[in-house]
Chains A and B, each alone.
Chain A
Amino acid sequence: MADFWNKLTIRQKLAITAWLFLAVPLVFYITIRFYPTFEAFYVSTLKWNLLGAKKAIGMKNYIKIFADEDFWLVLWNTIKYALVGVPVSMLIAFIIAYWLNEIDFGHDFIRAMYFIPFLTTAVAMAWVWRWFYQPLPIGYFNIMLSWVGIPQQPFLKSVTQGLYSIMAPAVWAGLGFQIVIFIAGIRAVPRSYFEAAEIDGAGRWQILREITLPALKPTIIFLTVVSTIGFLRIFDQVYTMSADSAGGPLNSTKPLVLMIYEFAFDEFKLGRASALTVILFLILLVVSLVQLWLMRKQK
């Protein structure tokens, strides 16, 4: 053994050492991540209740899913979470980051305040928001509305407002992270660009449009992808805030992940749940590929 080791070149020794260290996460990924992922593809072709016999039924799970009108509603909900949540949260985060970058007094403190919700347990936060949304006489938002003479709103109990009411705390919780990344991005732009622009007489708006935003493109792409995936996988808030954790009323707030959870752990239909997982996986894969493509164009 020692002989063998001594015969190796330094390069080979380095490679072996590196692989030894890499082996630990690799084993972890293969057994905990990749294997279950491939298993999900297989299970999606079965009728299986977690315990009894597995029955191969081919593509039946997928056919049932596509024929289920609830699936299309849920898919549309999921897309709505991302389609509205991502731009809204990024716009707010950018405005805050932009102005926060301008001030020195209390900068760290304010930034920390924005970051705290990101560190808070989603479930605890969602419960507090659930209480905020209650009707009079206990719901804080409705109490505030009544002060200014606006009639009370149903919020979580409405087919139209429910989804946005649940999205709000999700946006709020993600802001801190987005702000920090934006500030880092803004600070990474060489100061000389701004100074040169100012000497040339460019206004604040012009600097923002011509220098800051183009320089932030990689940051924006990164945040878009990360938050899109985050919103497409929204679960905690819906599970906590909708009555009976059912994604209601009338499935109007139910995202794909909650539907997967219900099939798997309320009804023990593992095959159907796996098929849905595969569908979600494909959606996320497409989102990630689009990101790679955009990043490549950047160079």
Chain B
Amino acid sequence: MKTWLKSAFALAIGGTSLVWSGLAQAVEIEYWQYTYASRVEAVDKLIESFEAANPGITVKHTHFPYADYRKKVAIAVSAGDGPDVVQLYYGWLNDYRDGGLIQPLSSSAFPHAKIEEEFFPMVGTMKVDGEYWGLPTAVRSLALFWNTDMFAEAGLSGPPETLDEFVDYAKKLTKTDSDGNYLSVGFAVDTDGQDHHWWREVLIRLYGGQPYSDDGKTVAYTSDAGAKALKFLTDFEASHKTGANGFMNRGQDAFAAGQAGMVLDGSFRISKFVKQDGLNFAISELPGHNGKRYNFSSYWVNGISSKADGEKKAAAEKFLQHLTSDAAMQLWLDTVGELPAKPAVALVDANKTHPLYGPFIRGLSYANATAFVSEKPQRQSLIDAYDMVVLQGADPAAALKKVAKAEQEVFDEFFED
């Protein structure tokens, strides 16, 4: 009895002191991302498991609409406020780094050799001036979504494997009324969506060119290949008449409504289409050309903001390690539908042969990520070139020459100092 009481007493004291020491060390760090239901859910789950494993640290999760995201992060961090760990699009890295918003990852917590051994090679764009500035949980690639009901109705048995087939199928899938207005489109071209990536990293390469010089400082798409690729993209609207840019507002909306035969999009769109009643679709790899295939990959990374220091920085590093762990990556795939950033997690058979994720994962092996200097104006160049050709009847090569001049200025301004 006495010994029992003694040990209970000792336990109680020990427990209390543990709690006390925990309180004394309690560190709260903030995590910021933009509002996207499944991403929020995934991070909430990851915070839960992180806090369970690290009792001294709490993570405050803040998210707000995408439209304000960049602005709020910039203003908050510059005011010494805001997140310790922050999510950013890989294409914004240079803006963020230049703006002093994020700090390099310490090589003790994130050894370079380990990163280079474990992650997909495209994560290399995160290494600037010999330092890594952020790491992804997940990566994205593009694939072709096709409406199986519309394919069957048009007498097509499977997805197009080549660019020529792609055009042919788009024509067969298009339906118009007697005045020539679209009832449904064969291919939902959407320059505000993913099509500018398709043009830049896939079509240009399929035609034998490359979008930018190898050092990433010069526009290289004013080549014959660039013009051919732009003509291929604009022909759907301008001459094949298989769809109009922004039909039904966005390509993804037209496809979700069952009024587009094909659309290009990322794996993050699967969850939207799966929920759509009456929509039957399948996914396949992007069509190739002359026996070659290319894909575009992109990713969001988590970086440590320049505000974090001392014990907060240590906690932020721990949280970042947790976010980029193998378990987090599988959870992200299952919850958000984005692909694991490490081959060891992504390229397991269950993922590779998955009917929905499989084509994206297979696409990763031949994908390139664009080293954007500033994503928005660079995206605008394809949007403008497309409009010049389709709305103003400009020659593709001439249109590209015009937008290339503007884009080169973006490069020059960035690299001048």
Query: Which residues in A have some Cβ–Cβ distance to B below 8 Å?
Result: 49-52, 130-131, 134-138, 146, 151-152, 157-159, 243-244, 246, 248-251, 262, 265-268
Partner of A265, one of B71, B98, B246: B71
Tally inter-chain residue pairs, CB-CB below 8 A: 77
Q: Chain B residues with Cβ under 8 A from A52's Cβ?
A: 98-100
Q: How far is the CA of A134 from the CA of B374 in the complex (A)?
A: 30
Bound-complex Cα distance A2 to B248 (A):
74
Which chain A residues border B244 with CB–CB below 8 Å?
A: 135, 157
Residue of B nearest to A69 (CB): B406
B177 to A: closest C-beta gap in Å? 8
Main secondary structure of the interface of A (DSSP, over half): loop
Q: What would be 25 A-B contacts, judged by CB atoms less than 8 Å apart?
A: A49-B98, A50-B78, A51-B99, A51-B101, A52-B99, A130-B249, A134-B248, A136-B181, A137-B259, A151-B179, A152-B181, A157-B245, A159-B391, A243-B192, A243-B246, A249-B391, A250-B384, A250-B387, A250-B391, A265-B74, A266-B377, A267-B374, A267-B377, A268-B74, A268-B99
Docked-complex contact A51 and B74, CB < 8 angstroms: yes
A134 near B392 with CB under 8 A, answer no
Closest to A157 in B: B246
Judging by beta carbons under 8 Å apart, are B78 and A267 in contact? no
Complex contact B392–A250 (CB within 8 A): yes
A211 to B416, CA, bound (A): 66
Interface positions, chain B 169-185, Cβ under 8 Å from A, are 177, 179, 181-183
A152 to B249, CA, bound (A): 15
Nearest neighbor of A250 in chain B, beta-carbon distance: B387
Which residues of B have CB within 8 Å of A159? Answer: 387, 391-392
Q: Tell whether B11 is near chain A: CB-to-CB under 8 Å.
A: no
Does B27 touch A at the CB level, under 8 Å?
no
**Is the pair A51, B380 in contact by a Cβ cutoff of 8 Å?**
no
Contact A158 B391 (CB under 8 A): yes
Given known contacts A131-B249, A243-B246, A51 and B100 CB-to-CB distance under 8 angstroms: yes
Q: Is B28 an interface residue (CB 8 A)?
A: no
State in angstroms the CA–CA spacing of A136 and B70 once bound together.
35
Q: How many Å lie between the Cα of A151 and that of B101 in the bound state? A: 52
The answer to whether A135 and B383 touch across the interface, beta carbons within 8 angstroms, is no
In the complex, are the beta carbons of A267 and B249 less than 8 A apart? no
**Smallest beta-carbon distance B98→chain A, Å:** 6
User: Could you tell me if A50 and B248 are in contact, using CB atoms closer than 8 angstroms?
Assistant: no
Are A246 and B380 neighbours in the complex by a CB distance under 8 Å?
A: yes
B78 nearest in chain A by CB position: A51
| A137 neighbours in B (Cβ, 8 Å) | 181-183, 259
Shortest distance from the beta carbon of B373 to any chain A beta carbon, whole Å: 10
User: From A154, which residue of chain B is reached at the shortest CB distance?
Assistant: B391
B247 CB within 8 Å of chain A: yes
Chain A nearest Cβ from B395, distance in angstroms: 15
* Closest chain B CB from A166 CB (angstroms): 15
CB distance from A122 to the nearest CB of B (A): 15
Q: In the complex, which residues 116-151 of chain B have their Cβ closer than 8 Å to any Cβ of chain A?
A: none
Query: In the complex, are the beta carbons of B182 and A246 less than 8 A apart?
Result: no
Interface residue? B315 (CB, 8 A): no
**Residues of chain A contacted by B71 (CB below 8 angstroms):** 265
CB distance from B368 to the nearest CB of A (A): 23
CA distance A52 to B97 in the complex (A): 10
